[in-house]
């Protein structure tokens, strides 16, 4: 009798394990089905002499489109795309109150001439003012920064007191394209524990372009972790009358690429990939 009870117990454990594994496999398959390979994205990058991937999420179709399903899951330094999270940090912790909060130039030469003047929060974001956002990070401090990033579920950042003002530009911090879009979806859908003021200000500063067919929100980024590597980003979303398309582009210069074009090409290839999706709605 005892042997039968042991056998029955083992069979029950086996059935539970099989059932759990089956559910896990079903979830994986459903996720895989939502990723569509778009060869036209690769054509766009090839024409621009870039390596990398474009990732677009169609909210209505609940489908990801990309040219590289491996690259889209690979982590990279976020560079200035982190200004989205750091702006939320500034607003939630009282370092910035609205678009008119001022940041003052210290009078020293900066990497860009456009950073060599006093500017408000809106201008600091739009001009991607690194010194302004380094000031925000230093004002926040390590513990409060970690607490805030945990609160908004922004993954992959590695920092301490020695790197609090540059961890998004160099070091071990990493975020993937699919993680960028997951974060942007939570922000857009107001699934983050933020004040209404933070949501309102973020919508104002993130608006980059407005056309008759859509509004484009987002942020570019450019990191140079060493002497030979350049990492380019564009992340954001395009809001139409009927849909929202989230986008994360991560590229690196390919053979024959002219680095003078790197500043504008990140958004350029993103819009080229995005345009056919929007045109389908017209």
Average pLDDT per run of 10 along the chain, which is 282 residues long?
A: 43 38 34 82 98 97 97 98 98 98 97 97 98 98 98 98 98 98 98 98 98 97 93 98 97 97 97 94 74
Nearest one of 81, 112, 76, 50 to 259, comparing CA atoms:
50
Q: Rounded to an integer, what is the distance from CA 211 to the centroid of its chain?
A: 23
pLDDT at 227: 84
Domains of the chain: 35-279 (3.40.710.10)
DSSP for 163-220, written as a single string: TTTTTTTSSS--B-HHHHHHHHHHHHTT-SS--HHHHHHHHHHHEEEE-SS-EEEEEE
Give catalytic status of residue 3 as yes or no: no
pLDDT at 15: 39
Residue of 69, 80, 161, 163 marked catalytic: 80
pLDDT at 202: 98
pTM above 0.75, yes or no: yes
């Amino acid at each position: 009798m005892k042997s039968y009870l042991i056998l029955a117990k083992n069979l029950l454990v086996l059935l539970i394990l099989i059932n759990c594994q089956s559910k896990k496999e079903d979830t994986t398959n459903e996720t895989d089905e939502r990723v569509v390979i778009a060869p036209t994205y690769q054509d766009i990058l090839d024409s621009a002499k870039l390596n990398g991937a474009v990732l677009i999420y169609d909210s209505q179709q609940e489908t990801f489109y990309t040219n590289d399903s491996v690259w889209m899951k690979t982590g990279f330094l976020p560079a200035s795309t982190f200004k989205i999270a750091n702006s939320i940090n500034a607003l939630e912790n009282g370092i910035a109150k609205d678009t008119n909060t001022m940041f003052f130039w210290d009078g020293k030469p900066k990497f860009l001439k456009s950073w060599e003047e006093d500017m408000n929060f809106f201008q600091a974001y739009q001009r991607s003012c690194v010194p302004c956002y380094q000031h925000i990070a230093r004002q926040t401090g390590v513990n409060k920064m970690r607490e805030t990033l945990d609160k908004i579920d922004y993954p992959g950042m590695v920092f301490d007191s020695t790197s609090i003002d540059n961890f998004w530009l160099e070091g071990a911090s990493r975020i993937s394209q699919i993680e960028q879009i997951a974060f942007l979806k939570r922000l857009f859908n107001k699934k983050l524990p933020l004040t209404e003021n933070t949501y309102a200000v973020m919508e104002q500063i993130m608006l980059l372009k407005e056309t008759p067919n859509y509004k484009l929100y987002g942020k570019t980024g450019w990191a140079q972790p060493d002497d030979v590597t350049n990492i380019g980003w564009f992340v954001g979303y395009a809001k139409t009358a009927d849909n929202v398309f989230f986008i994360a582009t991560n590229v690196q210069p390919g053979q024959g690429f002219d680095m003078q074009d790197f500043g504008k090409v990140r958004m350029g290839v993103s819009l080229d990939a995005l345009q056919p999706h929007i045109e389908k709605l017209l």
